[in-house]
Amino acid sequence: MTEVSVDSLEFFKSHWTAWRVLGVAHFRIESWRNLYITYSILMNVFVTLGYPFHLGMSLFQNRTLTEDILNLTTFATCTACSVKCLLYAYNIRDVVEMERLLRLLDERVVGPEQRGIYGQVRVQLRNVLYIFIGIYMPCALFAELSFLFKEERGLMYPAWFPFDWLHSTRNYYIANLYQIGGITFQLLQNYVSDCFPAVVLCLVSSHIKMLYNRFEQVGLDPNKDAEKQLEDCITDHKHLLELFRRIEGFISLPMFIQFTVTALNVCIGIAALVFFVTEPMARMYFIFYSLAMPLQIFPSCYFGTDNEYWFGRLHYAAFSCNWPTQSKSFKRKMMLFVEQSLKKSTAVAGGMMRIHLDTFFSTLKGAYSLFTIIIRMRK
């Protein structure tokens, strides 16, 4: 049977490719560095900053209520996406430190059981990828169809341009090319911003499970120094905590922004469906949009919950090893580890919201509360 090669960094390859395209991986570019920096500045000024700006300038100034709602939801999503991307770009070097810690943990993986746990990561992260493809494709499709089936000349998303696109064919094509190119760039930003937290939290969960397995093996083999095995496991635990805290600092503010925008946009999307939008394609867009927003945060919340659960079980693993026959020095070190592992490890977004399934459901409840306010205002 072929052994599964352990390389956690392989799951970062698509993210580094995306960050290069987005212009935030300048320190990893060796050739054509000045050209890349120029590209980075232009793309981030004209798209990361310019795209939400051109949407925001048109807020509540459109021809129909449907366009106003579409404009508002797109503006909120794109603004959040741009802010998250800038926050990640500012702290991008933290990813290099995460990679260093993951390499140290990868080197400790031994045996078929631990490799089997690692093999499950591929399946889990493939499912995460399918979730995000399932999110983006229908929304993009129905936004495009809604645009194509318009009876008169219009834009994909209601927005402001510093030129007359309505009465000039050339300007009309320029405006639409900017919107199509810009939304593609923003979708790539959204993918890496929403997918990366889920990926790193999934990797942390898998390494905690593998550490659990290593603890269970301590003292079972008489040919190995049990105390040295215990010390190595305690070192792994320190590396895991350091990795976890670095991840938490990296994703904290972006996840807080995402939770806030999700509650707002789910509420607006459902209100639009129930009260305002009548066009078939627009209704389909808002249906998928309202489903997509909570799905963006679900994988991160799921793996955040998984992290908390497995961190909370490590002290059981310590007592599962062959400790009764060991020396006093071994037992003293084990008890110190148990005391340390009893501290709760929960990722927190913005210092207020746990990255946890409880927060996922609280976000949906928040959207429902906003929706009830809209209903009362209509009455």
Q: Is 139 part of a structural domain of the chain?
A: yes
Dmax (CA) for the chain in angstroms is 86
Q: Is 166 part of a structural domain of the chain?
A: yes
Q: Is 1 part of a structural domain of the chain?
A: no
Percentage, residues of the chain above pLDDT 90: 40
Using alpha carbons, list the distances in angstroms from residue 136 to 2, 177, 251, 295: 36, 19, 21, 10
Q: How many domains does the chain have?
A: 1
For residue 180, give its domain range.
8-378
pLDDT confidence of residue 50: 93
Top-confidence residue, 283 or 162: 162
Question: β-strands 348-349, 353-354: how paired?
Answer: antiparallel
3 state SS of 293:
helix
Is it the case that residue 169 has pLDDT exceeding 60? yes
Q: What is the pLDDT of residues 208-222, one digit of tens each?
A: 999 999 998 888 888
Q: What is the pLDDT of residues 286-301, one digit of tens each?
A: 888 888 888 889 999 9
Average pLDDT over residues 271-280: 78
**Cα angle: 345, vertex 347, 348; to 5 degrees:** 125
Q: Is 251 part of a structural domain of the chain?
A: yes
Q: Which of 165, 163, 159 is nearest to 179 (CA)?
A: 159
Q: Is 206 part of a structural domain of the chain?
A: yes
Percentage, residues of the chain above pLDDT 70: 96
Q: What is the pTM of this model?
A: 0.90
Least confident of 48-52, 276-280, 305-309: 276-280
Q: Which of 235, 199, 201 is nearest to 108 (CA)?
A: 235
Q: What is the pLDDT of residues 123-153, one digit of tens each?
A: 888 888 888 777 777 777 777 666 666 667 7
Q: Is 154 part of a structural domain of the chain?
A: yes
Q: Is 89 part of a structural domain of the chain?
A: yes
pLDDT confidence of residue 1: 42
Q: Is 315 part of a structural domain of the chain?
A: yes
Please state the length of the chain.
379
Tell me the C-alpha distance between 141 and 88, whole Å: 28
